[in-house]
Structure 1
Amino acid sequence: MNIQTEQLDQSIYNFIKQVMPMTQINGNNALAPQMQQDGLTYAKQILDQYFPLSQGSHQDVCSYVIYYKQLLAFFADGSQSGLAQPKQFVALSGHKCEPSSLVLKNNGFHIEIALDRRGEQGRHDLAGINDVQVEAALMTIVNSAQSPCQRTWTSLVTGQADQHCKEFTSKDGTEYCL
C-alpha cells in the first residue's frame, strides 16, 4: 500500500470515527429536537475541520455564493473568504447567487450543505443552513460497482439517514449526480 492510499484510508477512518457517534446518539438514528441546534453547531465544526475557510469560520458565515466557480462565504462585517482548498467545492443546486445546496468533497467523501432560510433549522441560522448531510455509506467510495443512487446520506443535524440519488450542477456547469 502506498503512502497516498494510507493517508486517504486514515483520513476516511478519522472522519468516520468523528462523525458516526453524532449520527447514532439514540437508538432510532435521529437526534432529539432540542439537540438539533447543537447538531448544526457540530456540523459547522466538521465543516471548519474538513473544509476550512481561508479566513474565519463557518460558524460566522452570513451567506454563501458562487463567484467564478469558487465558493465564497460572506460575514456580517462585509468581509468574505473562500475555502482554504478551493478545489473542495464541487457542485451546487439552485442559483449561484443564492444556492439551495452546496457540495464539498474531501478525500473521496461528500458533504452537502442544504440552505433554506425558511427551513426548520435554516430560519434560525445566520447563513440559512438547514442541514448538513454526509455521504454515510463511505464504502461506496471504494465499491465502484455500486449504483450512485444507492448512496446513503446522514444528517449531521438530525442524525436521520436516507438513501437516494441527488443531482447537482458541477462548478463547470455539467451534471453532478451522487
Structure 2
Amino acid sequence: MTERTTVHGLQVATPLYNFINNEVLPGTGIDQAAYWKGFDEIVSTLAPKNAALLAERDRIQLEMDAWHKANPGPIADMAAYQEFLKKIGYLVEQPAKVQATTANVDSELATQAGPQLVVPILNARYALNAANARWGSLYDALYGTDVISEEGGAERAGGYNPVRGAKVIEFARNFLDQSFPLEGASHKDATGYAIAGGKLQVALKNGSTAGLKNAAQLVGFQGDAAAPSSVLLVNNGIHADIIINRATPIGSSDAAGVADVVLEAALSTILDLEDSVAAVDAEDKIVAYKNWLGILKGTLTESVSKGGKTFTRGLNADRVYTGVNGEKVTMHGRSMLFLRNVGHLMTNPAILWGGDKEIPEGIMDAIVTTTIALHDLKGNGVNGIRNSRKGSVYIVKPKMHGPVEVG
C-alpha cells in the first residue's frame, strides 16, 4: 500500500511529495503552500478535459471500427472515405486565425542543423553520455566503425593498428580539405598551425604557408597563437576543433602535431519520459525527475567501469577559446536538452485526484518538469552549467490528435 500525503484535493505518494518539497522547490522561488494549491487547481481544471479528450478518441475509434467492419478490404472510394472521416470528426478543417511565434530560441534550434539523440531519462549514464555527445572525436568514430574499410591490413581487432590509423588520418585530412579548404594547398601537407594577425596560417612541407580560402571560417584557438593547442573552425554553422598535441602517440607521429579532430555532433537530445521508458509509479517518476533535476543543475554523476577501471562521469564543461580579435569565445559544451513529457493517454498512481482517480501523467509531467527547469532559468547550475542560454524550456509533447488536443 502506497503511503500518501493529502494536500488539497490531491493524494500524493509521500516520497514524491517529499522529493518535490525538499529537492525541487528550494531555489525556484516558489512557496510550497502556493505550489500545491496551484497544482491542485491545475489538475482539477485540466484532468476532466483530458478525460473528455480520451472519450472523444474512443468515440472516433468505434466509428472507424464499425466502418471498416462494414467495408472490409482496400478502400475503393477514397473521396467518400475522407468525407466519412470529416463527418465523424477525425479530419477537421484547419483552424482560422492561428498564429505561432517563437522568441528566446537557442541557436541549436534556430540556426544550426545537426543530429538529435533520444535517450531514456531513467538511465543516468545514457543521459550523461547523450548530453556529452555534443563534441566527439572524429578519429575515434572512424577507427571504431566500418566507415573505414578493414581491407589491406586495416583490421579493427586487437591493439592499435597503425595501418588503420593512417587511413583514419587520411580520411580526416580529406574532410578538412572539403570543409575548410586552404588557399592553393592541402591540410595533408601541413607541418604546423598558427594564428597570425587574426588569421589561420598553415605551414607546409615545401616551406611555404597557406591560409583558409574563407578566412571567416576561423573562430578561435586555445593556447599560444604561434603554437596553438586547438584551432576552432566553422562550416555551415557546425564547428570542428583541430587538436594539436605532439606529446600524444598520434600527435608525435603527425607532421603538424595533429592528435585529433573533434567535431560538433549531437546538437540536441530528447531526454525521454515516454516512449523509451516505463515509469509506472511514484518510485519510477522520482528517478526520472531526479535525473532531470541533476542534469540541469550539473550535479548528476554516474560511476562507470570500463577497461578494468572505475571513474565518475559528469557533465562536460563549456569549451573556451580566444577569438580572432582576442575576445573570449565560449562554445556550449553539452547537447541542448529537450524533455519529452508523456502524452494525453497515460495515467499514473503517483498522485490521485477526485477521490481515487490516477492523475493524467502528462499533466503531472508538465507541472513537475517545468518547475525543475526553473533551476536552469535561474542559473542554479554548478560551475556555470546552463542548458538554455536564451531562457527557454524545451518540452516535447507527443501524440496529440488535432487542434483541440493541442489546445
TM over 0.5: yes
Partner residue in 2 for 1:120: 249
**Which residues of 2 match residues 6-155 of structure 1 at below 5 A?**
22=142, 25=145, 32=156, 33-34=160-161, 35-139=164-268
Q: CA deviation at 1:175?
A: 1.3
- The 1:163/1:109 distance shift into structure 2, 3 A limit, reads farther
Partner residue in 1 for 2:397: none
Counterpart residue type for residue 329 of structure 2: Y
Structure 1 residue runs without a partner (length 5+): 1-7, 14-18, 141-146, 150-161
- Distance of 1:119 and 1:90 partners within structure 2: 25
- Distance of 1:96 and 1:163 partners within structure 2: 29
- Distance of 2:260 and 2:250 partners within structure 1: 7
TM-score after normalising by structure 1:
0.69
Q: CA deviation at 1:12?
A: 6.0
Please tell me whether residue 166 in structure 1 is matched to residue 295 in structure 2.
no
Q: CA deviation at 1:163?
A: 6.4
String of CA shifts for 1:135-175, please: whole Å, max 9, x gaps. Answer: 111448xxxxxx9x9xxxxxxxxxxxx96221111111111
Q: CA deviation at 1:81?
A: 0.6
- The 1:137/1:85 distance shift into structure 2, 3 A limit, reads same
- Distance of 2:252 and 2:206 partners within structure 1: 20
String of CA shifts for 1:37-63, please: whole Å, max 9, x gaps. Answer: 322221111100000001111010111
CA RMSD of aligned residues (A): 3.0
- Distance of 2:229 and 2:245 partners within structure 1: 6
Q: CA deviation at 1:88?
A: 0.2
| Aligned-partner SS, 2:249 | coil
| Aligned-partner SS, 2:247 | coil
- Distance of 2:165 and 2:171 partners within structure 1: 9
Judging by fraction of residues, say which structure has more helix.
2
Partners of 1:37 and 1:121 within 8 A in 2: no
Judging by fraction of residues, say which structure has more strand.
1
String of CA shifts for 1:5-32, please: whole Å, max 9, x gaps. Answer: xxx98x969xxxxx8x847617xxxx94
Structure number with bigger Rg: 2
- The 1:22/1:163 distance shift into structure 2, 3 A limit, reads farther
Counterpart residue type for residue 129 of structure 1: V
- Distance of 1:107 and 1:49 partners within structure 2: 12
